[in-house]
Amino acid sequence: MKAGFIDEEISPDLDLKSEIMRLKKEKNAVLMVHYYQNSEIQDIADVIGDSLALAQKAVNIDSDIILMSGVNFMGETVKLLNPGKKVLIPDMNAGCSLADSCNAADFEAFIRQHPGHTVVSYVNTSASVKALTDIVVTSSNAKQIIESLPKDEKIIFGPDRNLGNYINSITGRQMLLWDGACHVHEKFSLEKILEIKNEHPGALIICHPECKKAVVTVSDFVGSTAALLNFVGKSDYKKFIVVTESGIIHQMQQKYQDKTFIPAPPIDSTCGCNECEFMRLNTLKKIYLTLKYEWPEISVDKSIAERAKLPITRMLEISNNLRL
C-alpha cells in the first residue's frame, strides 16, 4: 500500500470495467465522476457532472458507498452532505492548486481584516475554508448567487481571483478578492488561442471563468464545464476552441458528433491539450482497488464538518430557488 492510494499488482487479463460493475453492485456503491476525468472513467459513471451537479446529486444518494472520482474537495463536499456514508476517492493525492492557494488560517486573518463582509467561497476550497464561509458557489451559479444578494452588500470572494474578477465585471459588484488561481487555467496562452483562431476563423472560443482576463476577453462564451457543454449543443456553430481542462471534450464529442472541438493548449507544451494532473491521477485500476478495499476514505474533522456544511446547504437552497 502506497501513501494516498492502493498500489497492488493486478492481472493484465482482469476486465477492470466489469470488475468495477461487479463490486459496485455487491457493495451497493455509486460512482460519481467529474467531467475532467479520463474518458474511460467518464464512460462508466453512474453520475457525471460539473461541481454543482455533483453536489446537487450527492444530496439524494441512497447507496451505502459513494466513490467520488474527482479531486479531494469534491469528495469532501460529498462527505459533508452525507456524513453517515462511506465516501471514497481513488487517490488521496488528487488535490487542487486553487484550493491549496487558500490556507484557512490566512483566509481567516483576511476576513478579520475586513469586518462586515459576507464571505462567499468557490466550491474549490478545503472544508476548513468552507467552515469560514457564508455561502459557497460554483462556476455554474456564482453570478446568480452574487446577484441574489443586496446590491450594497459587502462581499469577500475567494479563492479564485479570475472567477472573482469575471463576476465583478458582469455584475458590477466590487467584491474583495482573495488572490488565488488554478494553475491549469492560468496556463492558457492568449497567443496560442489566437493562433488557433487564425487557423479556424469560423470557430467560437469558449472558456471556463477560471481563465485569465485576457483569455476571457477574447472568448465568445464563458461558463462552467456544464455551461460549455450546453452552449455547444445549442449553438449553430460547428467548430469550437475549448479553453478549459480537455476532459470535457469527451462529453462534447459524444453528444455532438457533427461538431468539431479543438482543445486550447497550455503555454508550456507542444501537445494539444491542457490536463489537470490532479484529476488525471485517477485511473480505472485505482477505482477498482478502492472499491475492493474500501480505501482511501474521505473524512472531515467533526469540529469543522457542521460549519462547513452550512454554506453548501445555503448554496443548494439558493440554487434550488433560482432553479439552477
- Site residues for ligand SF4 per CB under 6 A: 71, 96-98, 124, 182-184, 245, 276, 278-279
Q: At what angle do helices 284-293 and 16-27 cross, to 10 degrees?
A: 30
Report the nearest approach of ligand 13P to the CB of residue 116 (Å).
29
Q: What residue 50 binds from ligand 13P, ligand SF4, none (CB within 5 to 8 A, per partner kind)?
A: ligand 13P
> By the 8 A CB rule, do 117 and 148 touch?
no
Residue environment code for 6-36, b if the CB has 16+ CB neighbours within 10 A, otherwise e: beeeeeeeeebeebbeebbeebebbbbbbbb
Give me the residue whose beta carbon is nearest to ligand 13P: 50
Which residue lies nearer to ligand 13P by CB, 19 or 210? 210
In the structure grid, which three cell numbers stand for residue 168, read together? 465583478
Residues making contact with ligand 13P (CB under 6 A) = 50-51, 124, 138-140, 182, 210, 224-225
Which residue lies nearer to ligand 13P by CB, 163 or 177? 163
Which residue lies nearer to ligand 13P by CB, 291 or 318? 318
Report the nearest approach of ligand 13P to the CB of residue 49 (Å).
8
Report the nearest approach of ligand 13P to the CB of residue 279 (Å).
8
In the structure grid, which three cell numbers stand for residue 157, read together? 470572494
Q: What residue 51 binds from ligand 13P, ligand SF4, none (CB within 5 to 8 A, per partner kind)?
A: ligand 13P
Report the nearest approach of ligand SF4 to the CB of residue 102 (Å).
12
In the structure grid, which three cell numbers stand for residue 291, read together? 472499491
Q: What residue 278 binds from ligand 13P, ligand SF4, none (CB within 5 to 8 A, per partner kind)?
A: ligand SF4
Q: What residue 133 binds from ligand 13P, ligand SF4, none (CB within 5 to 8 A, per partner kind)?
A: none
The residue ranges of DSSP E strands in the chain, in sequence order, are: 29-34, 47-49, 65-69, 86-88, 118-122, 135-137, 155-158, 176-177, 204-207, 221-222, 239-243, 260-263
Length of the chain: 324
Report the nearest approach of ligand SF4 to the CB of residue 68 (Å).
12
Cα 196 to Cα 188: distance, rounded to the nearest angstrom: 12
